[in-house]
Chains A and B, each alone.
Chain A
Amino acid sequence: MTLAATGLTLSRGPRRLFSDLSFRLVPGQALVLRGANGSGKTTLLRVLAGLTVAEGGELRWHGERWTALCAGQRAASLYLGHANALKDELTAAENLAEALAFDGMVIAGSLQRQSLDNMGLAGRHHLPARRLSQGQKRRVGLARLALARKPLWLLDEPTNALDADGVALFSTVVAGHLQQGGMACVASHLPLSIAAPVLELVLSELPI
């Protein structure tokens, strides 16, 4: 399994975010996206997720061409965006269960509870999400990452709002995923310590 991007091009208004961008990601490898604010890290992740359609270029997953939001792309990828995608009205546990259900996963409640405990949310399973701190909300997302069996993780600033302990947890979860042959694309302006082969991609301002 490989993810191959060739010649990705995208502009936002008059600004060209990236043009003729190509890379290849193999199992066990992480791609870290770097770049200043507004350099297109989030947009590139959204292109990989299929949420944004690139103007040019193509994505191939194991040779099979991905059109934006095609079935293969939706089945293979898990995207954690800027927003935490938690419903304020639901508890942490309910949010996790809903998210996994829509990921197409059937995972026993005990495993879900254990995953929340592992992410440092013991005793907070039944708090409504609006009462969780920003970092705790991120940790619910980590619990989902650890459980949803998706080969390609697309993570946008995943360590934002996480404390040192949370960042370490994140590194462990990502390392475990890569060890099992998963792939990850991580956009971050913070240093990440991922114990695995890392491909670094720096996005810079392009001339108009």
Chain B
Amino acid sequence: MNLAAAQVSIEPVAMMAPERAVWLAAGRDLRLGLRSRAELIQALVFLIIVVSLFPLAVGPESALLKRIASGVVWVAALLSVLLTLPRIFAADYADGTLEQLVMSPYPLPLIAAGKMLAHWLMSGLPLTLIAPLLGLQFGLEANELVVLVASLMLGTPILSMIGAIGAALTLGVRGGSILMALLVLPLYVPVLIFGSGAVEQSMVSIDYSANLSLLGAGLLLGALVVPFAVASALRISLD
């Protein structure tokens, strides 16, 4: 057997660009996500069903439905994202790949950022793209739909980031998914208020840009801070 050819000498390897970690981690999770598409679709179907329950429950009065539309879509989006949060780290934790990611020479915050990006691409983004259809169900006008999509586009990445902190902190805890929901939902409140607030303001022709700006600011702040928080939480959870 020729093992010698496969063995390479032990020398320190020149590190590649650290930012590659983001694309490596995102690419890996996207590939895994696309291999189990059923899970992706489940969260979307959940969103559609939850939103469709409201007209059935509160009756077909169009003025009332329009009044509650932004709140309903936002709450359903939030629950749908919550449903997908365990996917970020739980499987990696169970099969031991999370230890390998933590031990990777790449900076862990960047790996965490890549995983959050992949999570958003597979939960928040599809949800944002389907939101106009749900809004139509409630009789929202075109300009209101645009605001709804804009608020979700800015808000759902924040949901992924806050959720990732919760998911990382509750790894390996029994009953962790309930604990995670209790931990994460209160932190989702500001996003919910600014997001659905923007749509409501557009419905009564008030300037909604302040709400969207706040969401954008939250997104930027989160992108800077959250990867480090998640990295620390993962190290603690694995200890």
Contact = CB atoms under 8 A, between A and B. Distances in A.
A and B are interacting partners = yes
A174 B4 CA distance: 12
Interface in A82-114: 82-90, 94, 98-99, 101-107, 111, 114
A51 B102 CA distance: 8
Given A89-B36, A90-B31, A118 B103 contact: no
Nearest to A86: B95
A104 B238 contact: no
Contacts of B35: 89-90
Contacts of A53: 239
Contact of A114 (B5, B9, B91, B99): B5
Given A104-B104, A118-B1, A52 B239 contact: yes
Interface in B90-108: 91, 94-97, 99-106, 108
B234 to A, nearest CB: 10
B96 A83 contact: yes
Given A84-B96, A85-B96, A106-B16, A147 B103 contact: no
Contact of B99 (A79, A106, A149): A79
Contact of A87 (B2, B9, B16, B97): B97
Interface residues of B, number: 39
Given A118-B6, A149-B10, A181-B10, A74 B32 contact: no
Interface string A59-87: 00000000011010011010101111111
A176 B227 CA distance: 39
A103 B104 contact: yes
Contact of A104 (B13, B102, B235): B13
Interface of A is mostly: loop
A79 B103 contact: yes
The 6 closest A-B pairs by CB, nearest first: A83-B96, A89-B35, A85-B96, A104-B105, A115-B6, A102-B104
Contacts of A166: none
B24 interface: yes
A106 B233 CA distance: 29
Nearest to B100: A85
Nearest to B93: A83
A144 B23 CA distance: 21
Contact of B7 (A83, A84, A180): A180
Contacts of B4: 176
Interface string B8-27: 11111101100000001000
Contacts of A50: 103
A206 B208 CA distance: 66
A83 B238 CA distance: 14
A177 B235 CA distance: 29
A75 B105 contact: yes
Given A69-B103, A84-B96, A104-B13, A51 B238 contact: yes
A77 B104 CA distance: 9
B65 to A, nearest CB: 41
A40 interface: no
A151 interface: yes
B96 A81 contact: yes
